[in-house]
Chain A
Amino acid sequence: MFSQTVKCTVLVLLVAFAAAGPAYCKTFERLQPEITPNYQPDISGTEAGLWMVFNKAEESLKTSPNRLKDPELDHYLKTVICKLSEKFCPEIRVYVMRMPYFNANMAPNGVMQVWTGLLLRVNNEAQLATVLGHEMGHYLRRHSLKSFEDLKHKSVLYTFLSLGIEGALAAGGINPDLGYAAMDMNRVLTYASLFAFSRNQEREADKYGIQLLNNTQLSLEQAPVIWGNLIAEEKSAQHEKKHRSIFFATHPAPKERLANLKEYVQELSEEDGSSGHDNLNAGKYWKYVGPHLPMLLEDEINLNQFGRTLYVLRNLLDNNIEPGIVRYYMGELYRRRNKKGDIQLAIQNYLQAIDNNNCPAEAHRSLGLLYYKNGDRASARKEFQKYLDHKPDASDHEMIQFYISSLSGDSK
């Protein structure tokens, strides 16, 4: 407290000397939750109606084929949520969905979805907590309800506008009722998803997220890092317009966001001297996410978005995450793109993969294929054999065996 006052005074003095104009010391103004723990909305209100719809949706989520069912990972995510807010964590239900894009979302009834594409792009627990805290911010400030109320008012205007369209339809002999095909429950749902949260709500959630992160021992400095990485990933995919990130399609002004986050972190650090906020917990994070890494990378690579995927893979290598696995997928990335020089790059990556632990047996198969392509029959045969040695029950065993036998004879 004392140090903060001193700092402020110094700053005020400096600014006062330096220039005319108002001088102030910005402090972090804390947001308050709009709900109490175990909150249940009044059954006669709008909010209860929204909860009803989302409670039903949660039932579908539970048995969704897209759900990644890993109780240990679920439990880990929950412990991170509890670090962020002990008070509210019991009522938040988290579901990991196998969706290879950077996203998480929060329903008004406390259901949180975390997508696998997000897990792949987060380097440690501190970054994960940043995103989870952001989502909890939406929940604690009841953003869904506010969006819905806002929408109701907007749609009145829409109806006035559509009266004109309807007149035209009727004049053209088309039953205006068909024009209402769009109006029903699906509209509520569509609106709920498409309008989602406003820019201001995103800002507020960012701020709340940092505030919650400050409750933990995790590094606040990691909060801007994740958004910085996303901006960089976006840049690396500039030539792949069709692969525009969903995240950026819906969350405006990433640079502004990054600046805001840095400011919040600065304010909070000044407040308590940033003591005790230096944990990254990367090891812990990868202990639970790591077992899924091959699947996450497989899904990522199948999106066929070279620049973006290359960025993600490099980021993993920079953080020294499973080079045996990551190098293999980098090899796959080059092999599948197959531009000039890519074969050589692919081979280099496979060889590096093999030098590391946990390299998938498929690295030998891919190497075999590329050697075969290059006309190096002896090496190809050797790699195919290694593949089968490492994976005797491979589903393509017969085919690879056929390759080996056709390579065994004298060169034709």
Chain B
Amino acid sequence: MDSFTRTGGTVRISGSGNILYAARLSGLLIIILLATGCATTKSFSSISNLRPTDKELKIVLMPLDVQLSILTAGGTLEPQAQWTRDAKRNMVDALDEIGKERSNDFIVYKEPEQLDASARKILEIERLHRAVGQAILFHKYVVPLPTKKNAFDWTLGPEVSVLRKKTHADYALFIHVQDSYSSAGRIFMQVLAAGLGMGIRGGRQAGFTSLVDLTTGNIVWFNYINNPAGDLRTPEPAMKTVKLLLKGLPE
């Protein structure tokens, strides 16, 4: 392993990085979870039915936490703004369609231009979700916690009620995806490595989705996807990925 990524967060430089320090773990966890093969999903749920009563159900879609990158020959991920923009648009369209099929129930949260106190709180909740999601990935899929063997009881806490007040939704759906595509140089390296009998990974899709109960803050459903194929840049494959992300979402 290279020495750069292992250096801790204590080194702060007149560069640009420390503001991003917190994001570091996410990729690491996702990569640990990667195995070769075809698209896989694995979900956990603590509820089977979202509608215990007859009342109308609403799920608010949180801003998509999505990033598309080129995997360069050297393994550096180069974030792509245009692809990311297109991917988000395709995903929103796909979610819209799926929402219609679900007879209901999706509404979209839009961050206001001027951040008021509750909008700030919601931003914090989005970041909290990312952190909790990573904890779930790590402890449910990689290193199980002895205290959580059979339990699935992660929560964002009751402060999520601010989101309920703002949107009048019962649940919030959070989606996090990192999607990378091999550059020509990377493919060359892969071929070269294969010739030497070694494997170098190419681009892939990895992500997780969670459904949060906006009364309790509990994560009632969680799904992780790992997909070496897939392409969010164009509508049809994007629909496939979104379906994978929502596979097993309780009705």
Point out residues on A near B: beta carbons under 8 Å.
Answer: 41, 43-44, 46, 48-54, 57-63, 99, 101, 103-108, 111, 113, 135, 138, 144, 147-148, 151-159, 162-163, 165-167, 170, 176-197, 202, 246-247, 249-251
Q: Which residues on the A side are within 8 Å of B19 (C-beta)?
A: 54, 57-58, 60-61, 107, 111, 113
B5 touches A187 (CB 8 A): yes
A48 touches B31 (CB 8 A): no
B13 touches A186 (CB 8 A): no
Determine if B191 is an interface residue (Cβ-Cβ < 8 Å). no
B16 touches A193 (CB 8 A): yes
B65-104 interface mask toward A, CB cutoff 8 Å, 1 = contact, 0 = none?
A: 0010100111111111110110000000000000000000
Between-chain CB contacts (< 8 Å), 18 pairs = A43-B85, A52-B81, A155-B73, A156-B73, A181-B1, A184-B28, A184-B180, A185-B69, A187-B76, A188-B76, A189-B17, A190-B5, A190-B17, A195-B4, A196-B15, A197-B15, A246-B11, A250-B14
Q: Which residues on the B side are within 8 Å of A180 (C-beta)?
A: 31, 34, 75, 201
CA distance A48 to B193 in the complex (A): 31
Q: Which residues on the A side are within 8 Å of B36 (C-beta)?
A: 177
Determine if B232 is an interface residue (Cβ-Cβ < 8 Å). no
Pick the 5 closest A-B CB pairs, nearest first: A193-B17, A184-B27, A196-B15, A155-B74, A49-B79
CA distance A154 to B192 in the complex (A): 18
B67 touches A167 (CB 8 A): no
Most chain A beta-carbon neighbours within 10 Å: one of B24, B75, B199 = B75
Which residue from B32, B84, B115 sits with its C-beta under 8 Å from A52?
B84
A193 touches B18 (CB 8 A): yes
Q: Which residues on the A side are within 8 Å of B35 (C-beta)?
A: 177
Point out residues on B near A: beta carbons under 8 Å.
Answer: 1-2, 4-7, 11-28, 30-32, 34-36, 67, 69, 72-82, 84-85, 115, 120, 123-124, 127, 178, 180, 185, 189, 192-193, 196-201
B12 touches A152 (CB 8 A): no
A154 touches B13 (CB 8 A): no
- Cβ-closest chain B residue relative to A195: B15
Contacts A48-B82, A183-B31 supplied; 7 other A-B pairs, CB < 8 Å: A41-B81, A49-B80, A53-B79, A57-B19, A159-B74, A195-B15, A250-B15
B74 touches A185 (CB 8 A): no
A182 touches B2 (CB 8 A): yes
Q: Which residues on the B side are within 8 Å of A148 (C-beta)?
A: 78
A106 touches B16 (CB 8 A): yes
CA distance A185 to B75 in the complex (A): 10
CA distance A178 to B200 in the complex (A): 11
A186 touches B14 (CB 8 A): no
CA distance A391 to B161 in the complex (A): 39
A196 touches B13 (CB 8 A): yes
Are A177 and B13 also in contact (CB < 8 A) when A184-B77, A185-B77, A190-B7 are? no
B6 touches A182 (CB 8 A): yes
A193 touches B198 (CB 8 A): no
B20 touches A193 (CB 8 A): yes
B74 touches A156 (CB 8 A): yes
B181 to chain A, nearest CB (A): 12
Are A185 and B178 also in contact (CB < 8 A) when A104-B14, A106-B16, A155-B72 are? yes
CA distance A10 to B85 in the complex (A): 62
Are A188 and B5 also in contact (CB < 8 A) when A177-B36, A180-B31, A249-B11 are? no
A179 touches B17 (CB 8 A): no
Are A159 and B75 also in contact (CB < 8 A) when A60-B22, A197-B15 are? yes
B47 to chain A, nearest CB (A): 31
Most chain B beta-carbon neighbours within 10 Å: one of A108, A159, A180 = A159
Are A194 and B7 also in contact (CB < 8 A) when A49-B80, A163-B198, A181-B32 are? yes
Which residue from A113, A144, A187, A250 sits with its C-beta under 8 Å from B77?
A187
CA distance A162 to B189 in the complex (A): 12
A189 touches B23 (CB 8 A): yes
Q: Which residues on the B side are within 8 Å of A54 (C-beta)?
A: 16, 19-20
B78 touches A186 (CB 8 A): no
A158 touches B74 (CB 8 A): yes
A177 touches B201 (CB 8 A): yes
CA distance A192 to B12 in the complex (A): 11
A184 to chain B, nearest CB (A): 3
B86 to chain A, nearest CB (A): 10
B185 touches A186 (CB 8 A): no
Which residue from B21, B26, B82 sits with its C-beta under 8 Å from A185?
B26
A246 touches B20 (CB 8 A): no
Q: Which residues on the B side are within 8 Å of A246 (C-beta)?
A: 11-13
B72 to chain A, nearest CB (A): 5
Q: Which residues on the B side are within 8 Å of A163 (C-beta)?
A: 192-193, 196, 198, 200
A108 touches B17 (CB 8 A): no
Q: Which residues on the A side are within 8 Å of B197 (C-beta)?
A: 167, 170
CA distance A193 to B11 in the complex (A): 8
Q: Which residues on the B side are within 8 Å of A53 (C-beta)?
A: 20, 67, 79
A185 touches B27 (CB 8 A): yes
B123 touches A59 (CB 8 A): yes
CA distance A156 to B184 in the complex (A): 13
A402 to chain B, nearest CB (A): 38
CA distance A162 to B75 in the complex (A): 11
